[in-house]
Structure 1
């Protein structure tokens, strides 16, 4: 079967609006993941054995299981426990939890390379721990780990395509619908791949510009 250039081009008008769904889900999930990763990072520094042990088990579970399984657990498992979620809600929560685990690992690595001087000075002045985190540690840490955070966002964008399996109508699901009606799966899927690639490329370029701006300010 020859490649149909017309079918390839016709797919984009439907795929581009669907990409907004992927982007919206990714941004919401990233926001929740950043909050979750920050909370986990702070809790891991408390030194409470039971708490850090439980977080360690959670990290091992999330990192050791496919994200697709986690999506299914949220979508099919939580209703069994009495918590009904829409496909988008289940998908956002699953991706956010998965990403928060990777973000807390990124933050832990960033903390290990930070200059302890400002923190030690704040402690010596009697500044409260909460203020040290919000005014001293986190602002520096977020800037320091900006590049891996951008990479994590692009990973999340790619992960949103998995939500097609729980009926979320995003780029991949839309491409499948196009393929089912046109009987041209190659053209539809290739167009979907290009749309997602362009979306991640734009995010990466934006991240580099932000990183360059912060580097210029520090300089």
Structure 2
């Protein structure tokens, strides 16, 4: 046996297509998860005790169960409640809901880290809850939630590989099929690992660059 990546070259259109699907799911799913998680955090922070407990219960379930089980329930269990989705939409929905649970906790922690006095000062000058969120909470919490938000984005990138289980044509499914056809499992998995490593490294470096610029902007305007 020999390690020969050349056996994968003939399948490069399929590999590029799989990589494109993976990146699409990651970007769209991460954005959707962050937006949904933000609204969940706002609801828990300003929606009263009942809504806080209800949303907290849902978040606890999502964070306490494996993503694999959740995606099975979305794809195979969806038809029982009238939600019949193709693999790609089911994957996007699953990863968005899964990520939203974690992003909601990240944003909620950011809200709690903002000094209460700042919020009370906004209330004293007559700001509404929406204005307090936009003008006080969001600017102050951005620096606090950026590092864990980037870590969560990296985690969601890795979780896209799970979607191959429900036949989403992302890179893991594509390379696994090519590896089986060409008897090149090691080569296919090595390319897959390299792809994820490169994406994670790029994300980490971009995140560090954004964090550095935000820090400089923050202190230059202090």
TM-score (norm 1): 0.92
Which residue is 2:32 aligned to? 32
| Equivalent residues of 2:113, 2:141 under 8 A apart | no
Q: Is structure 2 residue 219 aligned with structure 1 residue 202?
A: no
Distance 2:50 2:96 in 1: 24
Q: 1:142: Cα distance to partner?
A: 2.7
Unaligned runs of 5+ in 1: none
Q: More displaced, 110-119 or 199-208?
A: 110-119
Which residue is 2:172 aligned to? 172
Q: Is structure 2 residue 170 aligned with structure 1 residue 133?
A: no
User: 5 Å matches for 1:1-219?
Assistant: 1-7=1-7, 14-46=14-46, 48-219=48-219
Q: 1:137: Cα distance to partner?
A: 0.9
Q: Cα 1:143–1:11, aligned 2, differ >3 Å: closer, same or farther?
A: farther
| Equivalent residues of 1:71, 1:90 under 8 A apart | yes
> How many residues get paired?
219
Give me the CA root mean square deviation.
1.9
Unaligned runs of 5+ in 2: none
Higher relative contact order (Cα pairs below 8 Å, separated by 6+ residues): 1
Distance 1:142 1:33 in 2: 17
Q: Deviations over 1:125-149 (max 9, x none)?
A: 1111111112221233233211111
